[in-house]
Amino acid sequence: MKKLFLYWFLFFLFSNGYAQTTRSLEQRADSILRLMTLDEKIGQLNMETGNWDATGPILKSGDKIIAIKNGEIGSMLNVKGAKNTRYIQSLAMQSRLKIPLLFGLDVIHGYKTVFPIPLAQAASFDTATIRKVAEVAAKEALASGIHWIFSPMLDVAHDPRWGRVMEGPGEDPFLACAIAKSMVEGYQKPQHGLHLMACAKHFAAYSAAIGGRDYNTVDISEQTLQNLYLPPFKAAVKAGISSFMCSFNEINGVPSSANRKLYDILYNDWHFKGIVVSDWGSIGEMVTHGYSKDRQQAAQQALSAGVDIDMESYCYTDFLKKLIQNKSIDESLIDHSVKKILMQKLALGLFDDPYRYCNEKREKEDILSPENKAVALNMARKSIVLLKNTNNLLPLKTVRHIAIIGPLGNSSRDMDGNWVVLSNQPIAVTLLEAVKKRFPDATVDYVKGCEIQGSDRSNFEAAISAAKKADVVLLALGESWDMSGEAKSRGKLTLPGLQEELATEIYKVNPHTITLLMGGRPMIFNKIAKQAPAILYCWWLGTEAGNAMTDVIWGNYDPSARLPMTFPKEMGQIPVFYNHKNSGRPPVDVKGNYSGRYIDIDYKPRYVFGYGLSYTAFRYDNIKVSHDKDSITVTMELTNTGNYDGTELVQIYLHKKWGEITSPVKELKGFQQIFLKKETSRLITLKVALSDLSYYGVNSWRSASGDYTLFIGKNSDDTIYQTDLQL
């Protein structure tokens, strides 16, 4: 009789009709929680992986199948596809309480339609298009049975040696906040009645790793943490993000997976109500850090700090029950985390229909559709930065004989970059493919010249010969896809192998050479920077890479991107970034004085934050600045004085002259992209909210007040206008 009542109650609780009642998610979660055993509760806090590649069995371990049926796993990652997720979900439906699984995946810059890497998207400064990209990525993920993606990555980074700069928004927190808002809104926009959970990562200061070495220790001031690294995460909370992920690193001696201070800020200061998941194995790694005595203590520390889900370290499953039995933690702590997870599953509609995300028909329609590829092309074009254009070599006119030279001229896999949903057949359009399709009657020669890495010069002569015969050379150089990303820190940022040597040989024989540099981070290429007639920085552009590059090269799109990170000139300058502080003796260009300069290398970078050229030119006139109690207002007349239609990025920077603590020499506080047809003008207005000038002082947040200098610039160094303000 007891058993019959339980089944009747569960049917009533999970039925579709129940979802239409006015009871809140919280009440429903409480009802489920009261039915759960301690083992089932702990199971909800356990996330395990399926087969990473998913080219064979979805679950390699039969033990995982048993665990799912027993309700000992609450969420899984690396299971994708409507058919696969349906099968795994059917196992969960054999558990006693039939609590559905969450399926999570690292969808970093697209699902099957691959978009430019996030750092390249940041270069666009186009938050509307970034939002659309996230929306399309979500649509494809949802169609494949995914409920939860581990993006956006919001780690502001000042050190390009760190391989994961490719996943993030660059070096500026204001830009990162704008991107955070757009990505969260795009990812979590309801589609087909389905909802996706986004995840802000990595919380926090992961990118401040000493020496740029992934996973390394972070040792920073409270002011740097609050003013530089935390703002994008706060912006994600304000945008309504569903979840957070811990970072691997420690901050000032305490690993993020148990850093009570971080979670006090998250839960109490920002009032975050969602889920916090560890990064892969990070709870168990606290033993290796030397913070936890053993894995049992690590489990206690992480849960007590506020980490709800243990991803792949099994500390919760192995030790939480024991910790309750010996009264080291109270069961109410587990209940609190389980309730949050149940509420997310209820909000996703999984209790009403656990298979509602597993629709193979929708999967076929929504994956790699022409509409999705059009968004990918648009984003890719907007991500390409024009670094140099001697004598207006670009854009090119129609040419008869084109030589494509370099190891990246026809490498489809490299076009996607790192952190893509693995596929057996790379489909990205290469530069060679795009050029041949666009100019079917032209002669197009392709010679690698050299490999990305290595010292083989045997193909140099063939490359030089092809360059001599061609009307124009497209030189495709850079990193391979696996030289940026997690655990891909580099101690040297020069172009690998013989690529720069090859470039200098090509420049000697053909002055009409366009250099296209591809990679996941700022690189050092001083010879190319000096000798190349024209340079386009193309990052990794994804599925439509080749088409986007040819659109820009031949003038179908005027390059509008700007650098979201500073490019160093020398390795010894790193970390180098625009929003640095003055110090008492800032560097000056005079030898023999006591200032903050090097005696053997230049202290100035190669390319500054916000730098980028256009095929046209813009003039700023009639600039006026005013302010009230809420904002600063900037008005101006912007004119396209050149021969091409184009987009200008208007950038506003501010400097607080003095205050409770010192401030950076400049901080981006406003930007707007303005498209103008050639020889036309427009009156534009930009506003800077005074709330965006607040800062964390000695030990608390301070509002904007005092003496400021406002700058309007083409980039962080090239100032068009400046004025002093008293707020």
Is it the case that residue 259 has pLDDT exceeding 90? yes
**Of 214, 85, 230, 227, which is closest to residue 484 (Cα–Cα)?**
214
Asked if residue 420 lies in contact with residue 464, where contact means CB atoms within 8 angstroms, the answer is no
Q: Can you give the pLDDT at residue 4?
A: 44
**Of 579, 580, 581, 577, which is closest to residue 565 (Cα–Cα)?**
577
CA dihedral 84, 89, 91, 94 (to 10 degrees): -160
C-alpha angle 66-72-78 in degrees, rounded to nearest 5: 80
CA dihedral 576, 582, 585, 588 (to 10 degrees): 60
Amino acid at 375: V
**Of 99, 41, 37, 31, which is closest to residue 68 (Cα–Cα)?**
99
367-572 and 618-726 share one fold = no
Q: Can you give the pLDDT at residue 422?
A: 64
Asked if residue 59 lies in contact with residue 51, where contact means CB atoms within 8 angstroms, the answer is yes
Residue that wins the pLDDT comparison between 93 and 23: 93
Is it the case that residue 19 has pLDDT exceeding 70? no
Is it the case that residue 341 has pLDDT exceeding 80? yes
| Band of pLDDT at residue 63, cut at 50, 70 and 90 | confident
pLDDT tens, position by position, 488-544 = 999 999 999 999 999 999 999 999 999 999 999 999 999 999 999 999 999 999 999
Is it the case that residue 1 has pLDDT exceeding 80? no
Is it the case that residue 6 has pLDDT exceeding 80? no
pLDDT tens, position by position, 422-467 = 656 789 999 999 999 999 999 999 999 999 999 999 999 999 999 9
Q: Can you give the pLDDT at residue 424?
A: 62
Contact residues for 475 (Cβ-Cβ < 8 A; gap 6+)? 405, 406, 503, 506, 513, 514, 515, 516, 532
Contact residues for 723 (Cβ-Cβ < 8 A; gap 6+)? 625, 709, 710
d(CA 562, CA 220): 28
| Band of pLDDT at residue 376, cut at 50, 70 and 90 | very high
CATH topology for 367-572 is Rossmann fold (3.40.50)
Q: Can you give the pLDDT at residue 53?
A: 57
Q: Can you give the pLDDT at residue 581?
A: 96
Asked if residue 133 lies in contact with residue 534, where contact means CB atoms within 8 angstroms, the answer is no
How remote is the C-alpha of 620 from its chain's centroid? 32
What's the chain's average pLDDT? 94
Length of the chain: 727
Q: Can you give the pLDDT at residue 590?
A: 81
d(CA 669, CA 720): 16
Q: Can you give the pLDDT at residue 425?
A: 74
Two tokens, residue 613: 């050229």
d(CA 233, CA 176): 9
Active site residues: 279
| 3-class DSSP state of 3 | helix
Q: Which helix (H) or strand (E) holds 325?
A: helix 315-325
Q: What is the DSSP string of 392-452?
A: G-PSP---SEEEEESTTTT-HHHHH-SS----SS--PPPHHHHHHHH-TTSEEEEE--S-S
Percent residues over pLDDT 70 in the chain = 95
Is it the case that residue 475 has pLDDT exceeding 60? yes
Q: How many CB atoms lie within 10 A of CB 443?
A: 13
| 3-class DSSP state of 382 | helix
Rounded mean pLDDT of 313-338? 97
| Band of pLDDT at residue 17, cut at 50, 70 and 90 | very low
Q: Can you give the pLDDT at residue 429?
A: 98
The residue assigned the tokens 């005013």 is 626
Is it the case that residue 722 has pLDDT exceeding 50? yes
pLDDT tens, position by position, 161-207 = 999 999 999 999 999 999 999 999 999 999 999 999 999 999 999 99
Is it the case that residue 12 has pLDDT exceeding 80? no
Asked if residue 313 lies in contact with residue 281, where contact means CB atoms within 8 angstroms, the answer is yes
Contact residues for 206 (Cβ-Cβ < 8 A; gap 6+)? 155, 164, 218, 247, 248, 249, 256
Q: Can you give the pLDDT at residue 593?
A: 79
β partners of residue 197: 148
How remote is the C-alpha of 450 from its chain's centroid? 31
Q: Can you give the pLDDT at residue 295?
A: 98
Two tokens, residue 74: 């609450």
* Total-model pTM: 0.95
| Band of pLDDT at residue 7, cut at 50, 70 and 90 | very low
Rounded mean pLDDT of 317-325? 98
Asked if residue 705 lies in contact with residue 692, where contact means CB atoms within 8 angstroms, the answer is no
First to last CA, the chain: 73
Is it the case that residue 483 has pLDDT exceeding 50? yes
Two tokens, residue 221: 């001031």
Q: Can you give the pLDDT at residue 258?
A: 98
pLDDT tens, position by position, 273-298 = 999 999 999 999 999 999 999 999 99
Contact residues for 328 (Cβ-Cβ < 8 A; gap 6+)? 300
Tell me the CATH number for domain 618-726.
2.60.40.10
Rounded mean pLDDT of 687-710? 96
| Band of pLDDT at residue 40, cut at 50, 70 and 90 | very high
The residue assigned the tokens 């057949």 is 425
Q: Where are the domains of the chain?
A: 1-102+331-366, 367-572, 618-726
| Band of pLDDT at residue 8, cut at 50, 70 and 90 | very low
d(CA 120, CA 550): 17
Q: Can you give the pLDDT at residue 421?
A: 86
Contact residues for 312 (Cβ-Cβ < 8 A; gap 6+)? 47, 48, 49, 280, 281
Rounded mean pLDDT of 406-416? 97
Is it the case that residue 403 has pLDDT exceeding 80? yes
85-93: long-range contacts, CB 8 A cutoff, minimum separation 24:
85/144, 85/145, 85/146, 85/357, 85/358, 86/145, 86/355, 86/358, 87/58, 88/50, 88/58, 88/59, 89/145, 89/354, 89/355, 89/358, 91/65, 92/68, 92/354, 93/354
Asked if residue 169 lies in contact with residue 175, where contact means CB atoms within 8 angstroms, the answer is yes
Q: Can you give the pLDDT at residue 59?
A: 66
Q: What is the DSSP string of 190-214?
A: -BTTB--B-EEEEETTGGG-GGG-T
Q: How many CB atoms lie within 10 A of CB 724?
A: 11
Beta strands 667-676 and 646-656: pairing type? antiparallel
Asked if residue 404 lies in contact with residue 434, where contact means CB atoms within 8 angstroms, the answer is no
Is it the case that residue 54 has pLDDT exceeding 50? no
Rounded mean pLDDT of 43-56? 78
Beta strands 385-389 and 534-537: pairing type? antiparallel
